[in-house]
Amino acid sequence: MLNQVTVDVPAKRGAEDSGRYFKYISEFVGLTRADVEVIQQTKPIIEKHLPEIVSKFYAHLLRYPPTRQLFLKKDGSIDQAYVELRMRHLTNFWLRTTEGNFDDDYARYIDYVGRAHTSHGADPHIYIAERYVIGQVGFVQHAVAQAITQELRQVDENLETLAIEAWDKLLMTILEMLARAYGNEREMETFDPLVAVDAETVDCLAEEAFALERDKATIKPSKTVVVGKVEEIPEGERKLIDIDGLSIGIFHFEGGWYAIRNLCLHRGGPVATGTLAHCTLTCPWHGFQYDITDGHLLVDPKAKLDTYPVSVKDGVVEIRVPVQKMVETETPLKPNEFRVADVPPGKAHVVQANGTSVAVFNVDGKFFATQEACTHYQGPLSEGTLDGTTITCPLHGSMFDVTTGAVVNGPAKQPLKTFRVTMDGNLGRVE
């Protein structure tokens, strides 16, 4: 349905005129109710091909240096967990799109995404040049047309034509919604050489992301994990635990118990450490807000944090978590170990030492380690800028000497905890 604007929503959830603008542009390009019905009719086709579309979409992004950089760890390797997170978010959007319910929430979300690619978004440090947004919408447009042709050419050529036309009109509308946040381009193209991509790994991540979003209600292999005693998490408090590399926040809120994955949908921030008020959990990095009761993103109720069932038995808090399926690319290290090649000079890398996140810094070939969390507001120091021996927090600009942990410049007032680093050939270890 193509609906009128019905409610007022704060600008942080998308421009107030998003619904009206979507309707205006969809009418301009000729997207009719009949087209919407055809889009709904092709839902099984899009669902069938969506893992492949998402896989190729991200392989394309990872191939080009200007877009690849958004998915890299500090050591230059692909952040597979974050790529899969974005794949799930994209899969969720296209599954939602095939339902054909283009209401105000849908339009506001697209507007919000458009601004998130520019300096007008929640994170002013993120900017995706408009040309790449245009290119990727065109990429999806071509992929959808290919899928429709493959499935309908020998079955119903008339429906094939109608479906391709309907999707073309919808994608033109979506592109305009995304593009209206842009002004003048501010980044010059550098024409860097393309990067080889491990297509098999990307395919695996896309298949997993699709399965997780499509089959949310399907029973999956899981296990029970003891969180602790009830008295350890009083009313209004929380506890963070790590299970097989999965960070989870367990909340005791207004008599209820809730467990969410500690990974913001925006940039993977530690959302479970954010402020909680009136059921709204706010990520400390860039202010993305979620409903603690079911994990949904306030700006887009269809997008949700992973949540886990919590039970209390005989005064003991337990949660059910899925058995993790990992994509292995190299021999695993111990949590407190790192390879020298993973931390180039002037870069940082995160390891775990006795349950604590530690940032390892390479200063001209010498390695130093401090706590990962900034003492001001827990910003991720490994994502900051290292200049000589000084690391600058990416959130509020606090500066520290990584060799001693001392504060160089505020707003932080407390020094960092430091850790001893030992080397064994090409292997480093935080003690």
Query: Looking up tokens 């999806």, which residue turns up?
Result: 140
* pLDDT higher than 70, residue 140: yes
Q: Mean pLDDT, to the nearest integer, of 89-111?
A: 90
Query: Looking up tokens 């550098």, which residue turns up?
Result: 190
Structure tokens at 288: 């993305």
pLDDT in tens, 380-430: 888 888 888 899 887 788 899 988 999 998 888 999 999 998 887 778 888
Q: Are residue 282 and residue 193 in the same domain, yes or no? A: no
* pLDDT higher than 50, residue 9: no
Q: Are residue 145 and residue 52 in the same domain, yes or no? A: yes
Ramachandran bin of 324, using left for φ above 0, alpha for ψ from -120 to 50, beta for the remaining angles: beta
Q: Are residue 418 and residue 282 in the same domain, yes or no? A: no
Asked which of 171, 186, 214 is the last residue of a domain, the reply is: 214
Residue 366 belongs to domain with CATH number = 2.102.10.10
What is the Cβ-side half-sphere exposure of residue 403, based on CA atoms within 13 angstroms?
8
Which structural domain range is residue 84 located in? 11-214
Q: Are residue 209 and residue 277 in the same domain, yes or no? A: no
Higher pLDDT, 291 or 330: 291
Lowest mean pLDDT among 190-204, 254-268, 359-373, 394-408: 190-204
Q: Are residue 24 and residue 141 in the same domain, yes or no? A: yes
Q: Are residue 39 and residue 145 in the same domain, yes or no? A: yes
**In Å, how far are 129, 188, 411 from 179, measured between CA atoms?**
10, 18, 37
Predicted pLDDT at 125 = 67
* pLDDT higher than 50, residue 185: no
pLDDT in tens, 309-368: 998 888 899 998 877 655 444 556 788 888 887 788 888 888 888 878 888 998 888 899
Q: Are residue 64 and residue 160 in the same domain, yes or no? A: yes
Mean pLDDT value across the chain: 83
pLDDT in tens, 35-49: 999 999 999 999 999
What is the Cβ-side half-sphere exposure of residue 329, based on CA atoms within 13 angstroms?
13
* pLDDT higher than 60, residue 245: yes
Query: Looking up tokens 């887009």, which residue turns up?
Result: 300
The rounded distance, in Å, linking the Cα atoms of 118 and 26 is: 23
Q: Are residue 28 and residue 158 in the same domain, yes or no? A: yes
Asked which of 158, 192, 214 is the last residue of a domain, the reply is: 214
